[in-house]
Structure 1
Amino acid sequence: MPLNFSNTRRAALLQGAAAAGALCLPALSARAATKVAFGYSAVSDFATVFIATDEGMFAKRGLEVELKFIPITSTIPAAIQSGSLQMGGPTPTGYLQAVQGGLDHVVLGGGGVLSKTYTELGLVARAGAGIKTPQDCAGKKIGVPGIGALLHVAFSQWLKVNGVSAQSVTFIESPFPQHADMVKGGTVDAVVTGGPFMTRIIDSGAGYVASYFTTFLPEGYPTVIHVARRDWVAANPAAVKAFREGLQEATAFLLQSKNDARVRELLGKYLKLAPPAVAKMQISPPGPVVTAKQLQWWGTLLRDQGLVTSNMNYADLVLKA
């Protein structure tokens, strides 16, 4: 299934990627490439990083990227802070909570973004649960991939704008791979889930989609951002430049329909998915550039839900061009 988002947004992304590609690429140097460990999780939002790594878009710019799978996205900031990763892709909500906690990390770019047409994120209810509306969620037990994680925050906002208090729901924290068993076993009434985990539940008949709740959110806001420690960024400007340019080139590659088979091959490789699953999955629209305004929108939701307590200098959190 090819990418599914507006022609306007596709044109804008292609124009931006082409402009970046028109910049003079740094000449290959005889010196050793800068080695970077990059942490990713099991979502298609990292497609451009996979592409830039395997298609040599980082390597030709003197950047050697080692991709490391991190099962729990919320642990990526701590791994970056410790130095076991130099870069990684937390969600905006996880990142902002880490900054609130004292980590000095800066945003280099972005992965996937929200889209009105992206329907591989949603509320999947147990068969027979009777959940059809936000009001039906009151009093229910609902599994989320992390308390304070992006899907939990977005789902709580969906409840709020529909007049339902998130306090009326019992949230059960559970990783994506457990969602199918929890629904089938009746441990929860529903799960906030996505991707192949959502498909597995629906195909088994154990559950159904009660709402694609993320489609009410603003188009183009980041769901995954790429970050690094500020001191590492200051010490490695060439590596950062190479990463950002490689990301832009990979975005252009992703947006070309002729490359769909190759993109899916890479998703299967890094997400450990069988070809039939990869063939059916939607690919999150790319958003290589992240703005302070976008971060502030997520920050406002976090403050409203009591997950962060102070305002932040959002402009200072995004690395300038």
Structure 2
Amino acid sequence: MKRLAALAAAAALVLVGCDGGGKPPSGDGRQQLTVAALPLTDSAALYLARDRGLFAKEGLDVRVQPVQQSIQALPALLKGQVDVIASANYVTYFQAYEKGTLDLRILAEGVRIAPHMMDVLVPGDSPLKSPADLAGKKVAVAVLNNIQSLTLNAILDARGAGRPVYRQILFPQMGPALDRGQVDAVHAVEPFETAIQGESGARVLLDAGSGPARGLPASGYITTRDFVDKHPKAAAGFRRAVEAASRLAAGDPGAVRTELPKYAKVSAAQAESIHLPAYPATADPAALRRLIRLMRAQGLLEKDVDPAPLLAK
């Protein structure tokens, strides 16, 4: 489990030593921003924008704080200790917006779901042979009632299959939990999925990026209305840099595969085989409405949310 241990170490860093949002300029005059991010393929545009000088071009000095779950960074965002959350699971943040916990603004889109960017994995010798076998079985997800269960339920419903019972287990611990028989299957995303298959001998039971899940917006770059109002130039510059990096990622997957080992603790060889998500250049209210309709259908939102006013200009 050496590779999974490395992934866990990367994800286990917590938000410490952060200053308030809208930090003063750094020594070279660039405005400092702190961005919380998961070590997932979702965050590739963030790191490409940083390492290719796209943030610097916009006058920004972006510092990245790794976290295990994007929701862990929400209190820090509300306190102004981080300015943006990357790899932010839309389901969580639309729920927070509906409850009034977060005055949400979406700076840029992160990724949309593509085939095999996340899969349901089972042990190599598992008796589970088809998605229908998941009914009533224990399946690990990183966060309960979130994008993983939302999309898997939609896939299984479309097939007329029964739903599983979900257990919350962080991505770095999914492989060991599967090995110990604590769960029957894990719903893993890249790059953890590739690591689990390589080290645990797990096999794919279901492409969790297929059917009704395919093309759904999964994550974005989230901030608050207060930050956008107080720092409109920084917010706009951040969006332009991420969108430029997303176009790069979409047009040159090799750039993503080169970047991944720098922040996700996967080897260059593993990065070559990872299934990448789709990197949209701009956020699309129509695509977000599709996600919101699915959330409403499964009871994850009580009322419709119009995403258009939430997109920062």
Indicate the residue corresponding to 2:82 in structure 1.
85
Indicate the residue corresponding to 2:24 in structure 1.
none
Aligned pair partner of 1:304 in 279, 297, 306: 297
Structure 1 residue 35 and structure 2 residue 32: aligned?
Answer: yes
Structure 1 stretches of at least 4 aligned residues deviating more than 6 Å after TM superposition: none
Indicate the residue corresponding to 1:187 in structure 2.
182
Question: Which 5+ residue runs of structure 1 have no aligned equivalent?
Answer: 1-29
Aligned pair partner of 2:98 in 97, 100, 114: 100
Change in 2 beyond 3 A, CA 1:313/1:194: closer
Change in 2 beyond 3 A, CA 1:249/1:125: same
Instruction: Quote the Cα distance in structure 1 between the aligned partners of 2:288 and 2:244.
Output: 23
Question: Which 5+ residue runs of structure 2 have no aligned equivalent?
Answer: 1-26
Partner secondary structure for residue 163 of structure 1: coil
Q: How does 1:159-198 map to 2 (within 5 A)?
A: 159-166=156-163, 169-198=164-193
* Aligned residue-pair number: 285
Overall identity of the aligned pairs, in %: 24
Deviation digits for residues 166-213 of structure 1 (CA, Å, limit 9, x no counterpart): 3xx221100011111111111111111122322233234542100102
Contact preservation (8 Å) 2:196, 2:202: yes
Change in 2 beyond 3 A, CA 1:230/1:221: same
**What amino acid is the match of 2:195?**
R
Instruction: Quote the Cα distance in structure 1 between the aligned partners of 2:40 and 2:265.
Output: 11
Question: How much has 1:282 moved relative to structure 2?
Answer: 2.9
How high is the TM-score relative to the length of structure 2?
0.84
Indicate the residue corresponding to 1:74 in structure 2.
71
Instruction: Quote the Cα distance in structure 1 between the aligned partners of 2:212 and 2:142.
Output: 19
Aligned pair partner of 1:224 in 214, 219, 241: 219
**What amino acid is the match of 1:223?**
A
Indicate the residue corresponding to 1:8 in structure 2.
none
Partner secondary structure for residue 218 of structure 2: coil
How high is the TM-score relative to the length of structure 1?
0.82
Indicate the residue corresponding to 2:45 in structure 1.
48
Question: How much has 1:256 moved relative to structure 2?
Answer: 4.5
**What amino acid is the match of 1:67?**
V
Instruction: Quote the Cα distance in structure 2 between the aligned partners of 1:134 and 1:87.
Output: 37
Contact preservation (8 Å) 2:244, 2:281: no
Indicate the residue corresponding to 1:266 in structure 2.
259
Contact preservation (8 Å) 1:38, 1:68: yes
Partner secondary structure for residue 214 of structure 1: coil
Partner secondary structure for residue 112 of structure 2: coil
Question: How much has 1:218 moved relative to structure 2?
Answer: 5.7
Contact preservation (8 Å) 2:134, 2:162: no
Indicate the residue corresponding to 1:283 in structure 2.
276
Cα root mean square deviation, aligned? 2.1
Change in 2 beyond 3 A, CA 1:304/1:255: closer
Partner secondary structure for residue 279 of structure 2: coil
Instruction: Quote the Cα distance in structure 2 between the aligned partners of 1:263 and 1:203.
Output: 20
Structure 1 residue 125 and structure 2 residue 105: aligned?
Answer: no
Partner secondary structure for residue 166 of structure 2: strand
Question: How much has 1:219 moved relative to structure 2?
Answer: 4.7
Contact preservation (8 Å) 2:190, 2:276: no
Deviation digits for residues 100-149 of structure 1 (CA, Å, limit 9, x no counterpart): 2211011111122122xx32311111233322333211121111111022
Change in 2 beyond 3 A, CA 1:196/1:79: same
Contact preservation (8 Å) 2:139, 2:186: yes
Question: How much has 1:31 moved relative to structure 2?
Answer: 8.4
Change in 2 beyond 3 A, CA 1:277/1:31: closer
Partner secondary structure for residue 63 of structure 2: strand
